[in-house]
Structure 1
Amino acid sequence: MSPQTVLVIDDERDIRELLTITLGRMDLKVDAVGTASDARHALSERSYDLCFTDMRLPDGDGQQIIELIAAQYPDTPVAMITAYGNVDAAVNALKAGAFDFVSKPVDIQMLRRLVRTALKLTEERRTGAAAAGARDRLIGASAAMQQVRHTIAKLARNQAPVYIAGESGVGKELVARLIHEQGPRANGPFVPVNCGAIPSELMESEFFGHRKGSFTGAHVDKEGLFQAANGGTLFLDEVAELPLHMQVKLLRAIQEKAVRPIGAREEVPVDVRILSATHKNLGALVEHGQFRQDLFYRINVIELRVPPLRERRGDVPLLAEFILGQLAAKSGAAPGKLQPDAQQALENYDFPGNVRELENILERAMAMCDGELITAADLMLPQRALR
């Protein structure tokens, strides 16, 4: 079996040599070039499993290389090498299609983790081994849901932070899980956290952990949510609920890819992909000074909107059939059957609570109906939300 190959594009000889030696020790074959024109020639000559490109090149810039690879060599993950602290360049690279980014000076351990994750993604792309569960679990045949599934498949291929927007009950956590499961981190942990459910005074300890004796009640060392998600995905649900002091600390953790547990002297590196969601309008909160603009730009590299149920009414019968089947499997009873008047009532209902509300309505109807037949009266829909 021939070794996997990596293309390194950087005009600094020291960086090229460092990456060549490090990647060589991982049994990878490395081609290293110093200009954009040499990079284009190399890409046209052979297929690469991974590419690293510097941001600034003598005859171009890394952004152009990323766009070229995304357009012409989509099976090759590419990572941007950025100057320390240049977050804007990293964000722009991710938006252009970069898999991830590496800051100078290069952290060797972080580099190795990135390489392993990227090469796993390359193998999945070429063998077609990526998970295909979105169709089975994200129910709906509408154009809106087909687009959501298509976008999930694309987002699963890189490490860019994704902001999932949508009303309460539309299935934002399910979307986050599918992004995780269809990507190269699928075997790592998926750690969901409801930011609105953690008391403000406990947030730092919950997110970053603490050392024994660092405060009253800290009887043992405790790892935080970032450490628990190491190698996988951290899903920040209701991220708008974070108080401003935690927004600052979260921004630093995301930018530095490291956390400092309470009472610790040094930061602990973490390899975590950040997905976030809220039912609130984050842009409006930024305008009113209730959410930091720099954090907003950092977590909202790519936005995925999940449509409310009223915008895809044609999916209601499919969803209802699926939910009734799940309820029957849970209870051991025969699946409930919607009568024509019940189906019509559901299709005319606005569902302010979206899919979660549909689940509650059908569970209640199963308890109220006679036998297996569910009528409109069994649904007990509030009249104010009917069209």
Structure 2
Amino acid sequence: MSARSPRVLVVDDEADLRELLELTLVKMGLDVDSAASLAAARALLAAHDYQLVLTDMRLPDGLGLELVREAGAAGRHTPVAVLTAFGSADNAVVALKAGAFDYVCKPVALDQLRLMVASALRLDHGAPAAPPASRLHGDSAVMRALRAQIARLARSMAPIAIHGESGSGKELAARDIHAQSARAAQPFIAVNCGAIPEALMEAEFFGYRKGAFTGAVDERDGFFQAANGGTLMLDEVADLPLAMQVKLLRAIQERRVRKLGATAEEPVDVRLISATHKNLAQCVEQGGFRQDLFYRLNVIELSVPPLRARLDDLPLLTAAILGRLGAAGQPVTLGPGVLEALSGYAFPGNVRELENILERALAFANGGVIQVDDLSLKGARDAASLPPPSSPAADTLPSSLPDYLNQVEREIILRALARTRFNRTQAAQLLGISFRQLRYQMQKLNIQEPEA
């Protein structure tokens, strides 16, 4: 006996569009009911279970958003997608914020509709019965709340903007969202936007055809095609140049990309997650980030707390990290007073810094037992508390302003590098500049990494 086909409810007062949607969904092998009003839709929802509801935003007796909110309030977890007028980005964002699974623009592009429906049906049938183990270790109240929020967000297609300090676990949160979603079996692609040369960005994001430029000897997919059906994470999205922001905005709005050298666009189905340690709203105010792109990426915010806000999690975190470090050899243990010493440290580099500290300590430890002296926390504190850059007396002027400014900049960069143990990526993040900018300034000021 064959399994029953998934059931979909279409709600729209335009008879022609309703018929088109019904025919398209029936050809996909689905059972379809339709309604022309909010009242009729409510009656059908009360009588049947649906795997997807597709509703117009404006109905004769109310708004489709009411169905979105009611489906969420009733605890049904039925995905509800909305139909919005072409170019009504505001309506789409409002619907996603209200809890809509996704949206489709009018006039309806049938290929986009099919992709959205397939994604929604995977949500109902393809998600694992039990959620996978979280990559975010910790049992503090803030971490329990974070994991609960991730579980809720995993059921949506809404873009998510993850905020948090460097090393706090933003990518781990993004991977948890992907792993708990209906897209778990599809690719998860993480892209560090600050590490791609500006001249290569369009080719890296959208791909290229053979012969599109010198050196393009084969056709290649970009990040969007590689993540098709899955999740694309844009890490350090604030580092995107303005020219690339325009192209990214178009790809998000149209859900289509065009390879370099190609004449036609191709549809892509990706769930977007962005992350940055910077304040994106402040970047918008300063003109470094487009407001319209910010509006599309920042539909739902997720904040990852710094390690200093959850020091109760240190025992669990250290146990997990040491379990990985000692997996290939003898077990690793902590000597007396080590956890207390770690609890008194500020961890400007968060969990990533904790991993570096423990890995370094293990290299100095005897017999797999880490002692307080092996942590070298005193050196890190001294680096963090270096005196401020020297300045001339109030009544004097520097003999050479460029030389003086170079000296100040050199001292500040050296302090950041000392604090991060010459991890240039972390140092750039501490200073609020891109990795490329830091590398250029280090070359200009002749700052070299000390020999090991």
Q: Distance in 2 between matches of 1:278 and 1:243?
A: 14
Higher normalized contact order (CA 8 Å, seq sep 6+, divided by chain length):
1
Deviations 1:70-98 (A, max 9, x none): 11153210101111121111111111111
Contact 2:111 2:267 in 1 (8 A): no
Amino acid of the residue matched to residue 319 of structure 2?
A: E
- What TM-score results when the alignment is normalised by the length of structure 2? 0.82
Deviations 1:318-339 (A, max 9, x none): 100110111001xx22222112
The aligned residue for residue 131 of structure 1 is 131
Q: Distance in 1 between matches of 2:185 and 2:141?
A: 31
Q: Distance in 1 between matches of 2:295 and 2:46?
A: 35
Relative to structure 1, the CA distance from residue 91 to residue 380 in structure 2 (aligned partners, 3 Å threshold; closer, same or farther) is same
Deviations 1:168-216 (A, max 9, x none): 1011111111111110111111111100000001101111111222222
Deviations 1:138-192 (A, max 9, x none): 1000000001110111111010000110001011111111111110111111111
The aligned residue for residue 331 of structure 2 is 335
CA drift of 1:130 comes to 5.0
Alignment equivalent of 2:346, drawn from 319, 330, 350 = 350
Matches within 5 A, 1:155-170: 155-170=153-168
The aligned residue for residue 265 of structure 1 is 263
Deviations 1:262-283 (A, max 9, x none): 1211211111111110111111
Contact 1:124 1:130 in 2 (8 A): no
The aligned residue for residue 69 of structure 1 is 71
- What TM-score results when the alignment is normalised by the length of structure 1? 0.95
Gapped runs of 5+ residues in structure 2?
386-452
Amino acid of the residue matched to residue 131 of structure 2?
A: A
Q: Distance in 1 between matches of 2:121 and 2:221?
A: 28
Q: Count residues in correspondence.
A: 380
Matches within 5 A, 1:186-265: 186-265=184-263
Matched, 1:101 2:103: yes
Relative to structure 1, the CA distance from residue 130 to residue 180 in structure 2 (aligned partners, 3 Å threshold; closer, same or farther) is farther
Contact 1:166 1:307 in 2 (8 A): yes
Q: CA RMSD in A?
A: 1.4
The runs of at least 4 consecutive aligned structure 1 residues that moved more than 3 Å come to: none
Q: Distance in 2 between matches of 1:367 and 1:220?
A: 45
The aligned residue for residue 122 of structure 1 is 124
Contact 1:196 1:241 in 2 (8 A): yes
Contact 1:130 1:183 in 2 (8 A): no
Q: Distance in 2 between matches of 1:55 and 1:310?
A: 44
Q: Distance in 2 between matches of 1:179 and 1:343?
A: 31
The aligned residue for residue 43 of structure 1 is 45
Q: Distance in 2 between matches of 1:338 and 1:283?
A: 42
CA drift of 1:27 comes to 2.0
Q: Distance in 2 between matches of 1:339 and 1:215?
A: 59
Q: Distance in 2 between matches of 1:39 and 1:62?
A: 10
Secondary structure, aligned partner of 1:7: strand
Matches within 5 A, 1:344-383: 344-381=340-377, 382-383=380-381
The aligned residue for residue 417 of structure 2 is none
> In terms of Rg, which structure is larger?
2
Gapped runs of 5+ residues in structure 1?
none
Relative to structure 1, the CA distance from residue 294 to residue 60 in structure 2 (aligned partners, 3 Å threshold; closer, same or farther) is same
